[in-house]
Amino acid sequence: MMAYAVALPLVAAFLLPVLHNASRWLGILVGPAALVAVLLVVFQSWQPAVLPFAMDLGGFAPPWGITFYVDALALLFCGAVALMTLLLWPRDEGDGDADALVRRRSLTLLLAAAAAGLALSGDLFNIYVFYELAAVASYGLAAERGTPAAYAAAFRYLMLSALGSVIALAGIAIIYFETGTLNLAHLSLLAGELQGPTGMAAFLCLLVGFGVKAELFPVNAWVPEVYGVTTRRTAGLLAGLVSKLAVLVLVRLLVLVFPQEGLRDALLLLGVLGLIGGELAAWKARDMTRMLAFSSIGQLGLVFVAFSLPGTAGLVAGIVVAVHHMVLKPGLFLLAGQWGGGLRGLAGAARRAPLAGLLFVLFALSLVGLPPLPGFWAKFLVLTGLAGQGGGLGWLAMVAILVATVLEVSYLFRLAGRLYSRGDDEVPAAATGGGTVTAGVFGALVVAAVVFAPALWDEVQDMGAGAGDAALYVRTVGPMVPTMISGGAP
Amino acid sequence: MTHLDLLLLVALINLPVAWWLAGGATRRRLLALPYGLMLGMLLYMDPGATWDSGLSWVFLGQSLSWRLDGLGWFFALPTIGAALAAAAYSSGEWGEDFAGAGGSMGWLQLALAANVFAMLVLLAAGDLLTLFIGWELVSWAGLPLMVLAGGAAVGAGIRYITYAMGGGMAVLLGVVLVYVWTGSLVPADFMAVLPTLASWQVGLLVALFFGGFGVKMALLPFHLWQAPAYGLSVGPAAAFLGAISSRMGLFAMALVLVKFITLERLVDLTVIPGLLDSRDVLAWVAAFTIILPTYTALKQNDARLLLAWHGIGQGGYMVLGLVMGDAMGSAGGLLHVFNYATNQAVLLLAVFAVMHRTGTADLNRMGGLIVRMPLSFLALLIGIIGLAGLPPMNGFVSKWLVYRSLVLEGEPLLFLAAIIGTLGTILSVYKLIHNIFLGQLRVEHEDIREAPWSMTGPMLVLCAVIVVTGTMPGLVLGVVADAQQAIGLAVPDYHLGGVTSPAGGLDMLWLNGVIMAGFAVGAVLFYGFGGRTKRVHQLDNYAGGHFLTADVRYQYSDNFYPGLMHHIGGWYRGSFQWLEGALISVVDLLATALRGFYHQAQPAAWVLFTITLGFAWAVLP
């Protein structure tokens, strides 16, 4: 059943151009219909009694076949993929180019399929395939505007991402060479063989490779440029969704295959650098989109810091921080899409669009962590985790998080002040409509998170505990072909 | 539903109610009503008891609960009182003019209601997590009140929130550390473990909490934000903020440093062996906070900023009294919260009443308004006597208690600092009243009328409170005693007229009686011997024996005390401004560097660079 989460958007992506030629309405409906179907599949599978379960596609037993591992965390991300893609579904930008819109929708569906695949895949081979698929889709989306700047940004992004993919592939190759398998459950059993420097090098390859999409410092230089030239919906999708799925893959690897302490330190250090670097750059940004892009880098840094914490506490903190950012950032990008461009031109914008202004303040407050908004709980979890862990890096990270928050307040509310200032009213009011409404949905999610906080908390704890249980993963995927266990390099 | 729940519920419902009431000219007359109701509910609750809330839940493994004890009650009183005065002040002509000039009464009243609600949530905090939640709510609720005026106030507000979040983050780190080190955020649990913590741990907690709460109190060196943020706001908002807002910092300090960590532990924490313990450091920070901002106030030429700068300095007395920790000192420090709130509210309301009529708060552009606005003059006069801490007003009682404590505790240098501060206050409030009300009337102010009753009414009621609680301080000392008991401090032996002590007490009933008798004698002498006066037109005046006419400007505030400034003028260096500027420059430099990183032509090179470095790290032992 869960295979439909990947298959439906994938098929729809390829059918869309054909159907569009046959009937305009069919072309419009097929994408959202596929995504709604995925949501239904996710809802139907969300039964605590049967979770987690594994699926062997095509009937091939692991470690040979394609394995999908379905636990609450994977379902959460699958559902998020469908929901976010639906909310950020490409709209007619009014440039009158129908073909471009069809291409954009096709690519978005492809991205959704790949993202769901990343969330579900239980082996490195498939993860790599879906990662590449997502990359290809995102190259196309990055260049969607067709302007020279968009092509330049997309090309630079392509170079960076391709190099990252090659390095990730090298990491996968090292793992295969060392253990003879790519199935995550199988690798978990053989984790002992990856304890040495070779194993660490392999993980670093994967970290840097997948880190490109996950906006990991310092391989994230594409972020501000690409988000600056794409539509805000695509920026929201890349920042909110794709980055988190790359992180999810790294987290699965950390839990199942690489429990080494040192690797968590590396993750923590890079996370701290990303956090501080991103927030500092955002503080200086003169353009709302870029400000949000840099802030996104900072938030991803925080996600890395959270996931670097050991045990269930780290997973829980990471999930909360990641989901929080996943909901907020697209909302903010949509508002930026309404207002557009340079900060100077935004004077008084919120006075002309009060709902959008309120949403901006709500998102900003949650981002900086005003209790009882969800951003506060996210920060609180990370901070208590770090303080409990102690150590020089832990203290550094705590100070970094607090300093970054002050920087965040400084630039976000400098912007809020400008939005509410009595600016010159000659600036035409931005066309309101879809963007604000969709942002409103994200805002409603934030408020709902406050209202249903206790229930969500129980859910997240179970999710974290389940995702952190490597033995459960191995048990669920089932027994491996015995000859492979003794495996190793041929 | 308990009494506390009911109070919080009324405060919460007041948000939409205040917004609705602000919407119409007739409805506006009722703006003060909800605060009157809240005040009644508060007075109904016995400050000596602890009032629990029925609300409590467990979340993230933390139990959140609210309860109002004597300390919270004591701070809730001026909070609701100040809001009542501010709402009443804005309910008539002021509100009409404000709305007429394009201001949003709805936002103003909503923000005021939000502040009161947030403060009550903070004051009723039952554990460290709810304390932090309340703290953040209070910090953020203040922002809309500050920026309502637009223009320069927006910049001041953003500066405020940056400072406030810096403080908030220090508090958050403190809360997190308490949780990790003691395993609980519930006072009964972590207070049992706190004594077992190492000195460096407690020292760090003290630094984080004192620093964090100190930002709200605008203690040195975090004081730069407050004067413009409070002073440049609109009238009722400025009066409310100035009267009580930053005292939330003192509440939190009293709770965390005095009750949870305890002053004994502070004394045990040695900073310089044999010379300085951590309580001394706190006391000296308070002392410098008294002196520097007070003398900064002396240099202000804007009446609002002059008063706002004094607000910072007066906070120093409160902290100083509190950390002395003896019965008299802590009573003085806490009593000063109430007294100062009444003084500052009256002063700012009076200054904004003058501003309402003249359109300016510039001390170089006023003068001689005493005849035109006599009630405002009276209010300002009573306010400045209280602010300067002179009898017969209430400000004298609280300051006297603090002085007495400093003398009895053997702190002559701190006593001297407190006296220097009071001297500066007297000098600058004289400048305030002189330049607004005394001397030469300006031609453009000839037709000025007194402010309407909706504005003078609240001022006069507050004046009555100042005089009554100045003559009968026992009325407030009883509540102060409840607050002291709630945080485990000794209580002075008080009575209606003041305090009794073997080392010498204070009886304001007697003192004020003597003062009034003195005035009576003077009046009898003056009027008995004919009461000879010569009336001249206010546009003409004398200064230093020279006759001045309307075309010669007599009033000025630049270099107001040339003799004094000759001696101390060189001390004003703007060092803290420079420090703040330097910090911003450093952040700016780093940010520029980081932006450069994201503006490079060959980002792919970083992938190679990173993986090479990673390999080296993995392979090298």
Other C-beta atoms lying within 10 Å of the C-beta of residue B119:
28
Instruction: For residue A452, give both structure tokens.
Output: 């249903």
Strands A53-57 and B51-59: unpaired
Q: What is the mean pLDDT of chain B?
A: 91
Strand residues in B526-615 grouped as ranges (E): 541-543, 546-548
More confident residue, A58 or A405: A405
Q: Specify whether the CB–CB gap between B132 and A371 falls below 8 A.
A: yes
Q: Which residues contact B389 (CB under 8 A, 6 or more apart)?
A: B395, B396, B398, B399, B400, B422, B425
B245: closest CA among B86, B478, B98, B476?
B86
Q: Specify whether the CB–CB gap between A248 and A73 falls below 8 A.
A: yes
Main-chain phi, psi angles of B60, to 5 degrees: 55, 30
Interface residue B140 vs chain A (CB under 8 A): yes
Angle B412-437/B394-408 helices, nearest 10 degrees? 160
Interface residue A453 vs chain B (CB under 8 A): yes
Q: Specify whether the CB–CB gap between B618 and A200 falls below 8 A.
A: yes
Calculate mean pLDDT across residues A174-186: 86
Strands A66-70 and A53-57: antiparallel
Give the three-class secondary structure for B238: helix
A326: closest CA among A6, A42, A86, A84?
A84
Other C-beta atoms lying within 10 Å of the C-beta of residue A195:
12
B493-495 sheet: strands from edge to edge: B493-495, B498-500, B506-507
Q: Which residues contact B192 (CB under 8 A, 6 or more apart)?
A: none
What pLDDT, on the 0 to 100 scale, is given for residue A471? Answer: 83
Give the three-class secondary structure for B383: helix
Calculate mean pLDDT across residues B592-614: 85
Interface residue A285 vs chain B (CB under 8 A): yes
* Cα(A50)–Cα(A36) distance, integer angstroms: 22
Main-chain phi, psi angles of B372, to 5 degrees: -75, -40
A402 chain-B contacts, CB cut-off 8 A: 169-170, 172-173
Angle A243-256/A288-307 helices, nearest 10 degrees? 10
Q: Which residues contact B274 (CB under 8 A, 6 or more apart)?
A: none
- Asked whether the predicted pLDDT for residue A49 surpasses 80, the reply is no
B-interface mutation test, from A220, A223, A304, A370, most B Cβ less than 10 A away: A370
Instruction: Select from A197, A225, A417 the Cβ nearest to the Cβ of B619.
Output: A197
What pLDDT, on the 0 to 100 scale, is given for residue A430? Answer: 54
Other C-beta atoms lying within 10 Å of the C-beta of residue A47:
10
Of chain B, the end-to-end C-alpha distance in Å amounts to 64
Interchain contact, A281 vs B170, CB within 8 Å: no
* Cα(A99)–Cα(A114) distance, integer angstroms: 22
Calculate mean pLDDT across residues A57-75: 78
Interface residue A200 vs chain B (CB under 8 A): yes
Question: How are the residues of chain B apportioned to helix, strand and coil, as percentages rounded to the nearest 5?
Answer: 70, 5, 25
Of the pLDDT bands very low, low, confident and very high (cuts 50, 70, 90), residue B558 is confident
Main-chain phi, psi angles of B185, to 5 degrees: -115, 5
Burial class (CB in 10 A: 0-12, 13-18, 19+), A408: buried
- In one-letter notation, the amino acid at residue A468 is G
Angle A434-451/A453-467 helices, nearest 10 degrees? 90
Strands B498-500 and B506-507: antiparallel
Strand residues in B470-548 grouped as ranges (E): 493-495, 498-500, 506-507, 541-543, 546-548
Interface residue B155 vs chain A (CB under 8 A): yes
Instruction: For residue A152, give both structure tokens.
Output: 């330049």
Return the H-helix or E-strand segment holding A411: helix A391-420
Calculate mean pLDDT across residues A156-183: 90
Interface of B with A in 333-392 (CB under 8 A): none
What pLDDT, on the 0 to 100 scale, is given for residue B123? Answer: 95
Among A255-259, A367-371, B278-282, B555-559, the minimum mean pLDDT is found in B555-559
- pLDDT tens digits for range B290-327: 999 999 999 999 999 999 999 999 999 999 999 999 99
Calculate mean pLDDT across residues A222-227: 86
Interface residue B595 vs chain A (CB under 8 A): yes
Q: Which residues contact A29 (CB under 8 A, 6 or more apart)?
A: none
Main-chain phi, psi angles of B441, to 5 degrees: -80, 140
Among A337-351, A423-437, B573-587, the minimum mean pLDDT is found in A423-437
Main-chain phi, psi angles of B507, to 5 degrees: -130, 105
Q: What percent of chain B has pLDDT over 70?
A: 99
Q: What is the mean pLDDT of chain A?
A: 85
What pLDDT, on the 0 to 100 scale, is given for residue A62? Answer: 65
- Asked whether the predicted pLDDT for residue B521 surpasses 90, the reply is yes
B383: closest CA among B442, B450, B436?
B436
Among A27-36, B69-78, B128-137, the minimum mean pLDDT is found in A27-36
- In one-letter notation, the amino acid at residue A285 is A
B-interface mutation test, from A402, A403, A451, most B Cβ less than 10 A away: A402
Instruction: For residue B308, give both structure tokens.
Output: 């706002």
- Asked whether the predicted pLDDT for residue B621 surpasses 90, the reply is no
- Asked whether the predicted pLDDT for residue A488 surpasses 50, the reply is no
* Cα(A56)–Cα(A283) distance, integer angstroms: 48
Q: Specify whether the CB–CB gap between A461 and A312 falls below 8 A.
A: yes
Locate the domains of chain B by residue range. 262-572, 576-619
B617 chain-A contacts, CB cut-off 8 A: 204, 266
Main-chain phi, psi angles of A70, to 5 degrees: -115, 105
The long-range contacts involving A45-52, CB below 8 angstroms and separated by at least 24 positions, are: A45/A1, A45/A2, A45/A70, A45/A75, A46/A72, A46/A75, A46/A79, A48/A72, A48/A462, A51/A75, A51/A466, A52/A466, A52/A472, A52/A473, A52/A476
Radius of gyration of chain B (CA): 26
What pLDDT, on the 0 to 100 scale, is given for residue A45? Answer: 84
Instruction: Select from A208, A219, A280 the Cβ nearest to the Cβ of B594.
Output: A280
Interface of A with B in 400-419 (CB under 8 A): 402-403, 405-407, 409-410, 413-414, 417
Calculate mean pLDDT across residues B35-57: 91
What pLDDT, on the 0 to 100 scale, is given for residue A487? Answer: 45
- Asked whether the predicted pLDDT for residue B598 surpasses 90, the reply is no
Residue with tokens 């032509």: B601
Interface residue A205 vs chain B (CB under 8 A): yes
* Cα(A224)–Cα(B600) distance, integer angstroms: 11
A-interface mutation test, from B161, B201, B608, most A Cβ less than 10 A away: B161
* Cα(A344)–Cα(A486) distance, integer angstroms: 65
* Cα(A333)–Cα(A341) distance, integer angstroms: 11
Interface of B with A in 52-91 (CB under 8 A): 57-60
| DSSP for A57-117, written as a single string | ETTPPTTTSEEEEE-HHHHHHHHHHHHHHHHT-----SS--HHHHHHHHHHHHHHHHHHHH
- Asked whether the predicted pLDDT for residue B137 surpasses 60, the reply is yes
Instruction: For residue B107, give both structure tokens.
Output: 């936002």
Interchain contact, B133 vs A409, CB within 8 Å: no
* Cα(B331)–Cα(B483) distance, integer angstroms: 9
Return the H-helix or E-strand segment holding A15: helix A3-22
- pLDDT tens digits for range A440-455: 888 999 998 888 888 8
* Cα(A81)–Cα(A19) distance, integer angstroms: 23
Radius of gyration of chain A (CA): 22
* Cα(A93)–Cα(A269) distance, integer angstroms: 41
Calculate mean pLDDT across residues B419-437: 93
Of the pLDDT bands very low, low, confident and very high (cuts 50, 70, 90), residue A281 is very high
Other C-beta atoms lying within 10 Å of the C-beta of residue B103:
16
